[in-house]
Amino acid sequence: KKKLWRDSVHTLTPYVPGKPIEDVQRELGLDKVIRLASNENPFGPSPKALSAMADAVKDSWLYPEPTCRELRQKLAEKYGLTEGQFLVGNGADHIITLIGNAYINAGDEVIYCEPTFSSYEAITRLMDGVPMPVYSKSNYETDLDAILKVVTNRTKLIFICNPNNPTGTVVDTKDLIAFFKKLPNHVIVVLDEAYVEYMNDSYQTGVDFIKAEYPVIAIRTFSKYYGLAGARVGYAIAKEERLEPMQAVKQTFAVNRIAIAGAVASLEDEVYGKGVLSETKKEMQRLKSGLESLGYGVTDSQANFLFVDFKTDITDLFKKLMHKGILIRPCSAWSLNTHARVTIGTAEQNTKLLTALSQIN
Ligand code: PMP
């Protein structure tokens, strides 16, 4: 494992994102590469967001408003909370960093349920906290009972990713509320809701839990449903006092003017978002059935990706697909050697994936 600059975090390895599409294209001499590896939204942002960002470019010489007030006002209105209950950052990953910077002291224990998003472990190690991973149930659902069993008086944070990356599973609302009630007062639950817009309406979300005063910090992003992964905007929702220490460690101008303009405009285009959602859900169903008829195991997902057991060596399959110009995300980092996470693409991309898989078979 590669050593980073602080001795105390010698076990920390840098996060390696999916290979840049340009590199794959050049290395393999491919004209076109389909990227189903990073849960981006293949439909892109709303046209209104694009034009707002183009306008904002003209004001690039001005520093942005540091608290992203306009965006927080819009979010407060949308979710029935106050502006002070939102903190905007440079992507949800930045919010995770701010939570770690603000809350994790050396020796603090941080619990999360594997397989899940790797940033929770990374920030814990970076802050000299103690990662306390537990493991999902056999159906890959987050195991709340397993989490409760490892809570101690040194537990600082519990990260719950809902819907979970990479499995797409969702924790039942009743179970989550019962779980909150069993936690000692010193514990904060960080509910990562990066994919919440894809979750069925029947579930309660971080917004409801915060209104009910459960000890929750929710994390959201404009990278998925809103199609702005390259613009980098994410936010935290919580009781105002819980955001203060995060505000204190946040760089003043972390979120740029162009990104803020894009995020504000996307919130104003509900119609576009609804279209993205129905197309993604329709395509998810089609891709899931297609994968199942090829004999693969597919977990029910409420996100914009599928967790697939390809029942074969995933590194090998990944390479074969890459040579056909399709990138998926192998789950080998979680020691799941036959699984991959596959982002729902456009109809054309999903068809190409199914065709490629049937040829490899
Ligand atoms: N949380 C989860 C669960 C994610 O999957 C991602 C993106 N892969 C993030 C946070 C980070 O998103 P952002 O692009 O907003 O930094």
pLDDT at 13: 53
Pocket test of ligand 1: the residue of 90, 221, 225, 342 to mutate, having most ligand atoms within 8 Å of its CB, is 221
- Report the pLDDT averaged over residues 154-163: 98
**What is the DSSP code (8-state) at residue 243?**
H
pLDDT in tens, 176-227: 999 999 999 999 999 999 999 999 999 999 999 999 999 999 999 999 999 9
Amino acid symbol at 129:
G
Could you give the CA distance from residue 324 to residue 353 in angstroms, rounded to a whole number?
9
- What does the CA dihedral 86, 90, 91, 96 come to, rounded to 10 degrees? -70
190 forms beta bridges with 159, 217
DSSP H or E run through 166: none
* Whether 322 contacts 255, CB under 8 Å: no
Mean of the per-residue pLDDT values for the chain? 94
Pocket test of ligand 1: the residue of 191, 199, 223, 235 to mutate, having most ligand atoms within 8 Å of its CB, is 223
**What would the two tokens of residue 245 be?**
């220490």
Tell me: pLDDT of 24 over 50: yes
Q: How confident is the model at residue 4 (pLDDT cuts 50, 70, 90)?
A: very low
- What does the CA dihedral 163, 116, 223, 67 come to, rounded to 10 degrees? 100
Could you give the CA distance from residue 222 to residue 255 in angstroms, rounded to a whole number?
12
- Omega cis (within 30) before 163: yes
- Report the pLDDT averaged over residues 3-15: 48
Q: What is the ipTM of this complex?
A: 0.99
pLDDT at 30: 84
Q: Which residue's CA lies nearest to atom 2 of ligand 1?
A: 194
pLDDT in tens, 73-111: 999 999 999 999 999 999 999 999 999 999 999 999 999
The DSSP string of 53-87 is: HHHHHTTTTSPPPTT-HHHHHHHHHHHTS-GGGEE
Establish whether residue 155 lines the binding site of ligand 1, counting it when its CB lies within 6 angstroms of any ligand atom. no
**Three-state secondary-structure class, residue 298:** strand
Could you give the CA distance from residue 53 to residue 241 in angstroms, rounded to a whole number?
32
Could you give the CA distance from residue 305 to residue 167 in angstroms, rounded to a whole number?
8
Radius of gyration in angstroms for the set of CA atoms belonging to the chain, rounded to a whole number: 20
pLDDT at 20: 73
Distant-in-sequence, close-in-space partners of 297: CB < 8 Å, separation ≥ 6: 308, 309, 311
- Alpha carbon distances (Å) from 82 to 71, 94, 266: 12, 22, 20
Tell me: pLDDT of 273 over 80: yes
Could you give the CA distance from residue 330 to residue 310 in angstroms, rounded to a whole number?
10
* Whether 45 contacts 228, CB under 8 Å: yes
Could you give the CA distance from residue 171 to residue 155 in angstroms, rounded to a whole number?
21
**How many angstroms does the Cα of residue 356 sit away from the middle of ligand 1?**
28
pLDDT at 286: 98
Q: How confident is the model at residue 240 (pLDDT cuts 50, 70, 90)?
A: very high
Tell me: pLDDT of 49 over 50: yes
**How many angstroms does the Cα of residue 231 sit away from the middle of ligand 1?**
13
Tell me: pLDDT of 11 over 70: no
Establish whether residue 160 lines the binding site of ligand 1, counting it when its CB lies within 6 angstroms of any ligand atom. no
**What is the DSSP code (8-state) at residue 196?**
G
How many alpha carbons fall within 13 Å on the CB side of residue 361?
13
Could you give the CA distance from residue 206 to residue 81 in angstroms, rounded to a whole number?
12
**What would the two tokens of residue 139 be?**
């159906």
Establish whether residue 303 lines the binding site of ligand 1, counting it when its CB lies within 6 angstroms of any ligand atom. no
